[in-house]
Every structure is written in C-alpha cells, then in structure tokens.
Structure 1
Amino acid sequence: MTWATQAKEYEQGLINDLNQIIRIPSVLDPKTQTPQTPFGIEMIRALSQMEAFANRDGFRYGRVDNMVTWIEFGPQDAAETVGILTHIDVVPAGDGWLRPAFTPEILDGLYFGRGAADMKADLMSAYYAMKMLADQKRVLKRKIRLIIGTDEENGWRDIPRYIEQEGEPTLGFSPDGAFPVVNGEKAFQTVQLRFPSLSDGAYILERFMSGSRPNVVPGEAKARVQVPKGVDLIKDFENYLEQYPFLNGEAKQNGQTVKILLLGVQAHGAYPADGKNAGTYLAHFLSRYDFGGDARAFLDFVGVTIHQDVYANGLGLTYHDSQMGDLTLNVGVMRYSHRGQGTILLNFRYPQGVNLQAVITQVQRHLGALNADVTKVQAGMPPHLVPIEDELVQVLSDVYAEQTGEYLPPRTSNGGSYARLLKRGVAFGGQFPDVKVTSHQANESTPVANLTRTMAIFAESLWRLCK
C-alpha cells in the first residue's frame, strides 16, 4: 500500500478531531488573559483538547507555561529530535463569512472554518502522520516532537519560551506554509507611526478606523466625517464604488454628519497583493476633499503615498533580491480620532540585503506633512535561509516529488513560520500549489482530499528523517 492509501483510511477520524479544534475560537483574548491563561482561556481549551487526543492515542505529552503543548513519539532517550512546529491560534473571524467561522462545514469537497488553511488542518494532518507511524509500530532512531504554540498570530512569545526550557530540536519543519519546501523566509517587521490627530478645514475627520492586525490586509474601514452645509457625500461615495467594482459599502448622512463603511478584500499581510485594502481605499476616497491639519496629512499619506503600494515605491523602499525576491508592504492598521491620537501600523517583509534602520529611515523621509514618530513594534525577525544541500531540504523535496509526481525546487516565502526559530528549520506544507490561498480571509477553506494527502507526505517525511 502506498503512503497515500494508508493515510486515506484515517480521513474520517482526522475530520472528527479537526472539527473539535475548529470549534474552539482560539483567538488572542485580552479579556481572559491572566498569568495562568497568558493568551486567553480559549487557547488553554485548545491545548487541552490536543492533550486529550495525545492521551487517547498513547503519546507522551507535556505543557510549557500554558503557552505550548508538545506531543512526542519515538525513543525517549534519542539524542536527536525532529520538531514539527505548529500553532493552534487563529486570527479573528472578521466580516464577510457566508457561514459561522467556528462551525466547521464541508461543502463541494471543501472544508470551511477559521483555521482550515492557517493552520489547524495542517496541525491535525501532522498529528495524524505521527499517529499512523505509531499505529504501524515504526522503530525510529530520532524522536518526533509535535510542538503546538498559541501566539503565532501575535507576538511569538510561545515557542521561544519552549526552546528556552526544552531545547531546540535538531532539525524540523513547520507545516505553516506551502509545498514544496520553503527553505527561505523573508524578514518581517512592523513599524508604528504615532501622530497627533487635530482636524481643521471645511471638512472634519472625526474618526477613521481600519484593520486589527498588522499582518492582515484590512477588509473593512469606517469613517465619520463632518461636511459643510448642503454637501451630499453619499452620491460621491456611490460613484466611487462604481469605479471599483471589487469594493462594497454604504454611506449614511444625518445633517452634516456622514458615516461611511467601505468593504474591501481581506487577505494575509504577507501577500498584500491578494487583498484590496479597505483602509487605504477609504482614505483615497476622502483625500479629494478639503480636510485640513493632521487629517489632511493622514489622508494624503494613507490614501495617496502608500495606497495600492505593495512594493513600497512611495517610501523609496523598492528592493529585489535574486534569491529571496521583493520587499513588500502591508498597511495593516489605521486609526484617527479628532483631538486624540493617530496610529498607523506598517508590516514589512524583506529579503537579505535590507536592514531595519533603512526601512525606518525611508519611512521618516516620506511622511510628507504627517508629524509622526516612527518606531518598530516588538522585535522583528531577520531573513532565514537553510542551504538546499541540507539533509532536511533534500529529504522533504524528494518525498514531495515522489508522492505528487512533480519535482518543484525549494523557494522563499513572504510569510513567517516558526521554522525560522530553528537553525535547521524549513516551512513545508500544507498549501498545495494548485489551491487558492484563503489564510486570514473570510470563508477560509481547504480541500478535504488534501487533509490525508498532506498527512501522507508528512508521514513518509518523518519516517525518512527518523529511520
């Protein structure tokens, strides 16, 4: 029997367990954060469910500071460890879902639910790959550790804590990317702009809100505007939407107050070209009017300088590396409150050859009239590259080629996976090249057939690395 045939026998069990994980809304929850629940109570529920699976299936398991659960198979005293670095946290559901985001559903061969693509489905495929090897009583020389974090979508405070306490695996992969092997990952860094927000002029921008995470292309933007007497902004907004058929929204006017909602297309911030940034489009629409003061500067910067600018041309940061590709920019969060404080979060992904200070300097040089302080947010990550000649890259590439019938060379990703925390770590799966990327988007999904297809690739890869 082939690996794929053997994996297929586990499909229903995998789906049943995945359903339980998808139903847990494991989103960072400040309201339930305590020293015992560092990222919220739902994260603890999710880790406990994975531990219940491990207990049921006879695996060794443990927990680190209520941030990470590890599940282990293979000789306990093995000198070397193959790590599978995963996360069970997800981004908020957001708007635009045609079905409840945390109620899993299968329609037309697709499995829907928040986390179906990033990355609960691939977590369960990896878990079931271990389960299949254990059921077959495979004798390993290296041990396997499935390492499950809870803070990947936010501050990456989990896996570094695990490595500090448990040590770094000898080598490993993170199924939080795409096939084939992703042996290079660009640096990523969020830059924060803070500025005063005092409006004047014929039009007053009272409030502007778009985005919740720097690593997500905002799919929604809202604004409240005071307009001069006799001005009808609603018709202008309707005409603007007609120019851009991929946008939706509505405007409501009561006297001189206009409330605007604009809907774009949410996407993963690592690939901003896949989305339509609702925030920059709304700023672009408003920038044509007679706003003054800080509102004018804010709308010009967001709606003109960096609008539709995924390669940061307007910031003088266009850069291409022959091995790792282009620098990209996502405008993830935009906030403006009249007589308050304004904030913009810019998420950069850049290859080797670019440094953080150059990024900050160029942003400062292109602020125009925006009187902003520019700082980095938390610690970013430098570029990461594992040589193609490494055993890890070679084995994973060979398994993928043999099981799919197509060799695809290792490549670089804009996304950041936990693999970069290992000296010998790569991203590997579970996104197949012929599948549309829906990570961080509404109606996130993955083909049902790919659950065991991915499982089979992981199982053989682990076997070859450990036998």
Structure 2
Amino acid sequence: MYRKQIEDYFTTHKDEMLNDICSIIKIKSDREEAIKGMPFGKGPAKALEAALNLAEGMGFITKNYDNYVGTIDFSEKEKGLDILAHLDVVPASDDWVVTKPFEPLIKDGKLYGRGSADDKGPAIVALYALKAVKDLNIPLSKNVRLILGTDEECGSEDIDYYYKIEKEAPMTFSPDADFPVINIEKGRLASTFEAKFEEDVMLPRIVCVQSGVKANVVPDKATVTIEGFNNEEIKKYLEAVEKKTGIKFTVHEEANEKLIISAKGSGAHASTPEKGDNALTGILELLKDMPFAKSEGFNRLCEVQKLFPHGDFNGEASKVKMSDEISGELTISLNIFEYDTEGLSGVFDCRAPICATNENLRDVLRDTMKKENIILSSDDLTEAHHVSADSDFVRTLLKCYEKYSGRQGECLAIGGGTYVHHLKNGVAFGCTMPGTENNMHGNDEFANIDELVLSAKIFTQAIIDLCTS
C-alpha cells in the first residue's frame, strides 16, 4: 500500500532533499569546547538549529533540549516510533581530494562531504520520510518522533541527557549504519593506559611519539622524533617496515640533529579496523626494530607494541581473542598514543562479542599490562546489545527493506555501537546498502545518492506500517 505514491513523491522531491542535506553538511559540527548554552560547542549547536528550523518550516512540532538534542514530532498523539540520528561529525583531515570536508559536492552519483553518510545525510532523509507521510496525507494512529543528537561521535552525552527527561518509544531505529537490520551490536571497551619511567638520556633515543585524535578512529597519521641517528642509518628500517605494512614514511631533519619521522596509513572506523592501515601501530613496528639505547621507556614502548602488533585486529597477541556464533569475533585497535622521555599513554578501542565479560576481557588486559608496569584504567565493558530477530518490529523493517530494495532481508551483528545500544527495543536500520564503501570517518566521505533516495522510500513505508493500526 502507498508504494506508487511514495515512489512518485521522491522522484519529485529528490533534488530538494539533496539540497537540504548539503546545507547541513556545510556546517562544521565536530565537537568543540563547551560554552554557555552550547555543551558541545558552536558547530553542533548551529547544525541542530538549522535542522530544527528546516523541520519547523515543513510544519512539524520541534523542541530543543538545551542544545543537547532536538526533536521533531509528526503529531501530538501517543508515541509509537522514535528515529534516532545525529548531526555531529568526526574531525576531518586536510587530505581530502574530491572536495573539502564542509563543501558538499555532487559528482558521479555521489554526495561528498563530512557527514554525508554519517549521519547528516541519513538524518535529513529520515526528516523527508516524515515529510512524505505528511504531504501525502497518510493517516497515522501513533506519533513518530525524529530525535537529532549532537554528540554521538564523542560519547553520546546528548542522548544520556535526553533519556533522563524522556522515555524511549516502544520501537526505535537509527539510520546510522547499514541495511538490512542490525539487531546485534557488540560490546565496547575503550580504555586508557599509562606508564611512568625515568627519563631516557642515552642515545640513540626516542624523544616523543604522537598519534590519534579519537578513540573510535583508526589513525592514518603518526609522528616520532628521534635523536642519535642519521638519515642513512634508518633507511633500511623504513624500507623494511614499508614493505611489511604498507605504511609510508617520510623523514625531516631538524637543525638540532633530531629526525622527525612521519607515518601515513589509512583511517577507518574502530569497529572495522581491518579496513584501515593503522599508522600508529606501523610506527611502533618501525621503532621496536631500531637499535635504540636500552632504557625503561623503550622497553615499555616495545611492550605496548607486543600487545598491539600491526595487523592484529582480533586480540590474539593480547590474549583476548574470542568469538561466539551469534555476534562473531572480537576486534581491538590501538588508536591514540603519546610518548615522551618520562612516560607514555594510550587508548585502545575493543568491540566485543556477547560472550565477553569484564573478567575475560578487561581483567586479562589489565593483568597482562600490570606485569609490564603499564596501568590500565578501570573502565567497565559496555555489554553487547541484542533485539530478537523474530519480533514484529524487526520483521516489519525487513519487509519494508525487501519491498523497495528487491534484496533479501536479514539481521546483522556489527562491531559499531549506535545510538540504540542502550535502548530495550532499538535497532540500526540503514542508510547504507550492503557492500557499499562510503569512506565513513575517512577522507572523501560520501553517500550514494540512489541509496539516500531508496532509504527515504523505505523509511516512509516503515513509518506507515509501524504507526498505523
């Protein structure tokens, strides 16, 4: 029912929808320092204001929850469905090629720009699904609420704030992942570690190492400053590790006889570390093979490298490799690291299957590190999330997906944690089709335009089927 009307609607309103997505992408909305009335900085607050103004202009009921979250209600009826999206983005590097991160570009059937796929594009697509139901005068017996957050990428303080005020709907989906339906999200342990030691004074030595910007982003860059070597002495080590890892190294010689080595890999989301080439673990691979003077600091660095060797995504070296039939294998990635002559610190991101516990994951890592005088923080594992594939809610979503995509629907388990992770009856649903690579969290992020339009149709049908008696 309503398929022809929905198809025709998005044929007519496609360009309008794309233009509105572009207007939101133009707003740089990665998290910044909090200021009065803007808990995550000006950018996220500005993006939220723009989206709410857009929705209000469409005739919807909007509310701003102190610039943490904004809501867009279809009606004032009893709430039946929440759609949970976000307008904040991860930081963007200067290495984009097709366009600049906040200058959206439509080219070759793709919409480029930071947030086009994660999650500004899907957020506006969901808004247009509400608009389609409204403009087509399709009666709903229950309300649909689109919730727009502003801190999904940095800990979801926004949603914590919102759900202290509001109750979750009987059903929630988040268009912040892949089709068909993701009903299992692995647990997460993103912990810090540190070590202190006597200053390294003997040459050759490592002066400092720095890499990483976010715990959930595999770093594509890393730098190390060393002294006591010259360019010729290190050339063979660079060539060997480049060949082994695919990481590219460049060397800059400073006037004070120090060498700065820069590593360039490729970024990825921490839930799929195998899709990147971790510059940080690549540079540690290089350093552990070089003949630095023996010191406590160098030993600690080498121990970190042993726990997180380049290319080990499943925790085999750190003795936490595990899997189960429902949710698959554990993944782990070292994503932030700092080292100087008196200490080191780092952050790893682990996505853990349903079988993981504090005892068989966190405590194993803690005890292993403690033996090497490296102290792990006491963060608890966030447990995995699971919604039954046999529920009416999930079956309805799969039916809508199959109807418009022409593909077989199925439930998936992922390593990524979405907004619905802590919701009793929440799943991730779209906007990316199976097999599509959109450079999420990386350079030249894009959304496939046909998939955005298809998602709008699927969401519109889902709203009708879930909120009509």
Q: Which amino acid aligns with 2:253?
A: Q
Secondary structure of 2:282's aligned partner: helix
Q: 1:245 to 1:277 in 2, by over 3 A?
A: closer
**Could you say which residue in structure 2 is the equivalent of 1:293?**
295
**Could you say which residue in structure 2 is the equivalent of 1:281?**
282
Are 1:85 and 2:88 matched, yes or no? no
Q: 1:248 to 1:431 in 2, by over 3 A?
A: same
In 1, Cα distance between equivalents of 2:40 and 2:27: 14
1:202 is displaced (CA, Å) by: 3.4
Q: Which amino acid aligns with 1:266?
A: G
Secondary structure of 1:236's aligned partner: helix
**Could you say which residue in structure 1 is the equivalent of 2:437?**
436
Q: Deviations over 1:319-351 (max 9, x none)?
A: 111001111101110111223x42110111111
**Could you say which residue in structure 1 is the equivalent of 2:210?**
209
- Are the aligned partners of 1:269 and 1:330 in contact in 2 as well (CA < 8 Å)? yes
In 1, Cα distance between equivalents of 2:381 and 2:149: 18
Q: Deviations over 1:88-122 (max 9, x none)?
A: 11100024211211110112111111111111111
Give the TM-score, by structure 1 length. 0.94
**Paired residues for 1:392-431 under 5 Å:** 392-431=393-432
Give the TM-score, by structure 2 length. 0.94
- Are the aligned partners of 2:77 and 2:142 in contact in 1 as well (CA < 8 Å)? no
Q: 1:315 to 1:89 in 2, by over 3 A?
A: same
Secondary structure of 1:361's aligned partner: helix
Secondary structure of 1:158's aligned partner: helix
Q: 1:148 to 1:122 in 2, by over 3 A?
A: same
Q: 1:258 to 1:305 in 2, by over 3 A?
A: same
**Could you say which residue in structure 2 is the equivalent of 1:373?**
375
Match of 1:351 among 350, 353, 357: 353
1:457 is displaced (CA, Å) by: 0.6
Q: Flag structure 2 segments of 5+ consecutive residues without an equivalent.
A: none
- Are the aligned partners of 2:335 and 2:349 in contact in 1 as well (CA < 8 Å)? yes
- Are the aligned partners of 2:399 and 2:409 in contact in 1 as well (CA < 8 Å)? no
In 1, Cα distance between equivalents of 2:313 and 2:202: 31
Q: Deviations over 1:281-336 (max 9, x none)?
A: 00101111233334323432343331221100011111111001111101110111
| Two-structure CA RMSD over aligned residues (Å) | 1.8
**Could you say which residue in structure 1 is the equivalent of 2:454?**
453
In 2, Cα distance between equivalents of 1:187 and 1:241: 33
In 2, Cα distance between equivalents of 1:15 and 1:202: 58
Q: 1:233 to 1:427 in 2, by over 3 A?
A: farther
In 1, Cα distance between equivalents of 2:334 and 2:217: 8
**Could you say which residue in structure 1 is the equivalent of 2:386?**
385
In 1, Cα distance between equivalents of 2:315 and 2:200: 27
1:2 is displaced (CA, Å) by: 5.6
Are 1:171 and 2:171 matched, yes or no? yes
Are 1:120 and 2:123 matched, yes or no? no
In 1, Cα distance between equivalents of 2:157 and 2:118: 18
Which range is displaced more, 1-10 or 108-117? 1-10
Q: What percentage of aligned pairs have identical amino acids?
A: 27
In 1, Cα distance between equivalents of 2:220 and 2:195: 24
- Are the aligned partners of 2:126 and 2:459 in contact in 1 as well (CA < 8 Å)? yes
Secondary structure of 1:381's aligned partner: coil
In 2, Cα distance between equivalents of 1:4 and 1:293: 67
Q: Which amino acid aligns with 2:85?
A: T
In 2, Cα distance between equivalents of 1:165 and 1:458: 26
Match of 2:28 among 25, 31, 34: 25
In 2, Cα distance between equivalents of 1:225 and 1:119: 40
- Are the aligned partners of 2:130 and 2:460 in contact in 1 as well (CA < 8 Å)? yes
In 1, Cα distance between equivalents of 2:439 and 2:142: 34
Match of 1:313 among 291, 313, 316: 316
Q: Which amino acid aligns with 2:265?
A: G
Which range is displaced more, 429-438 or 15-24? 429-438
**Could you say which residue in structure 2 is the equivalent of 1:323?**
326
In 2, Cα distance between equivalents of 1:177 and 1:215: 15
Q: 1:201 to 1:284 in 2, by over 3 A?
A: farther
**Paired residues for 1:75-224 under 5 Å:** 76-78=76-78, 80-98=79-97, 99-196=99-196, 198-224=199-225
Q: 1:125 to 1:212 in 2, by over 3 A?
A: same
In 1, Cα distance between equivalents of 2:192 and 2:245: 31
Secondary structure of 1:165's aligned partner: coil
In 2, Cα distance between equivalents of 1:152 and 1:233: 46
Q: Deviations over 1:120-168 (max 9, x none)?
A: 1111111111111111122111100000111111121111211111221
Q: Flag structure 1 segments of 5+ consecutive residues without an equivalent.
A: none
Secondary structure of 2:464's aligned partner: helix
Q: Which amino acid aligns with 1:322?
A: E
- Are the aligned partners of 1:301 and 1:368 in contact in 2 as well (CA < 8 Å)? no
Are 1:462 and 2:463 matched, yes or no? yes
In 1, Cα distance between equivalents of 2:399 and 2:278: 39
Which range is displaced more, 142-151 or 197-206? 197-206
Q: Deviations over 1:253-288 (max 9, x none)?
A: 246311011110100011000011000100101111
Q: Deviations over 1:428-447 (max 9, x none)?
A: 00110131141101111111
In 2, Cα distance between equivalents of 1:347 and 1:438: 19
In 2, Cα distance between equivalents of 1:317 and 1:3: 49
Q: Which amino acid aligns with 1:65?
A: D
Which range is displaced more, 270-279 or 103-112? 103-112
1:242 is displaced (CA, Å) by: 4.6
**Paired residues for 1:30-49 under 5 Å:** 30=33, 33-49=34-50
Are 1:332 and 2:331 matched, yes or no? no
In 1, Cα distance between equivalents of 2:202 and 2:232: 17
Q: Which amino acid aligns with 1:9?
A: T
